[in-house]
Amino acid sequence: MTTANFANPASDLVPGGVEAPLVSLAGVAKTYRTGEVAFEALRGVDLEISAGEMVAIVGPSGSGKTTLVNLIAGIDRPTAGTVTVNGSRLDLMREEDLAVWRRANIGMVFQFFQLMPTLSALDNTLLPMELARRGSRRSRRVDAGGLLSAVGLEDRARQLPAELSGGEQQRVALARAMACRPRILIGDEPTGNLDTETAGSMFALLRELNENGTTVIYVTHDLGLAALARRLVTVRDGRIVGDAAADRQAPTTTTTTTPPAVARPDPEGRT
């Protein structure tokens, strides 16, 4: 794995040297309306996440986890309250500005990968760079190739998603998420569709990204994977009911609750 490809040298200090939280939600509520019916998916959420943190979000199905990360990602806006991420008030931004902001600040990995089926692994990784017109055409291709190497897929660059295993597709999704060097990587159950071993190798990549300076926020159902974050936020019925430093296991420690920490993806990419 070429760690340099994941380097993310963003400064976390604001002028004056005071560290501001990278993510700040205050009094956030989100109500979904379906015809006459209103459903409060989030109510009274306050949350601050500092640059460099690795945060796991857990909670029962339907508790509001996806709604919460979508607000942080600027995919959705709150019904009430303020959402400030990397100095921008997302709750005040227009849709079209949010799309541009999101491309520059957020990398997203979803449970079902959501790769473009007609594009190769390389072209999927290139797509966000092309939309953002990042660098020259040539430098983009080199960069995308580097990201695929970082996730152990240098020899799968020309394959279509359907020709890749689930674990490989998710690694392409991670390379694509990192294409514009976002400060924040968000995973919404990024390992929810992978077997335990593949999930462990995906998780090792997330941790490596975090160690290289990217703030990582991920939703998971797997309490073993949640325990590997530095901080555990628990959501229930649209509220944060727990927020604590996680009992983070050292990478070398193996217990029954810790999935195998795979330092390097299987070069054959089998899952």
Closest approach of ligand ADP to the CB of residue 231, in Å: 18
234 near Mg ion, judged by CB under 5 A:
no
- For residues 234 and 65, the answer to whether their CB atoms sit within 8 Å is no
CA distance 166 to 77: 31
220 near ligand ADP, judged by CB under 6 A:
no
The item of ligand ADP, Mg ion, none sharing an interface with residue 177, based on CB under 5 to 8 Å by kind, is none
Count of residues binding Mg ion (CB under 5 A)? 2
What stretch of H or E contains 104?
A: helix 95-105
Of 70 and 212, which has the nearer Cβ to ligand ADP? Answer: 70
Of 107 and 265, which has the nearer Cβ to Mg ion? Answer: 107
Phi (first) and psi of residue 162, to 5 degrees = -65, -20
Which residues ranging from 67 to 86 are in contact with ligand ADP (CB under 6 A)? 67
Which residues ranging from 226 to 255 are in contact with ligand ADP (CB under 6 A)? none
- Number of Cα atoms under 13 Å in the Cβ half of residue 1: 20
- For residues 31 and 64, the answer to whether their CB atoms sit within 8 Å is no
Count of residues binding ligand ADP (CB under 6 A)? 12
Query: What one-letter code names the amino acid at 226?
Result: A
Question: How many other C-beta atoms lie within 10 A of the C-beta of residue 88?
Answer: 16
39 near ligand ADP, judged by CB under 6 A:
yes
Q: Which residues in this chain contact Mg ion in the complex, by CB under 5 A?
A: 65-66
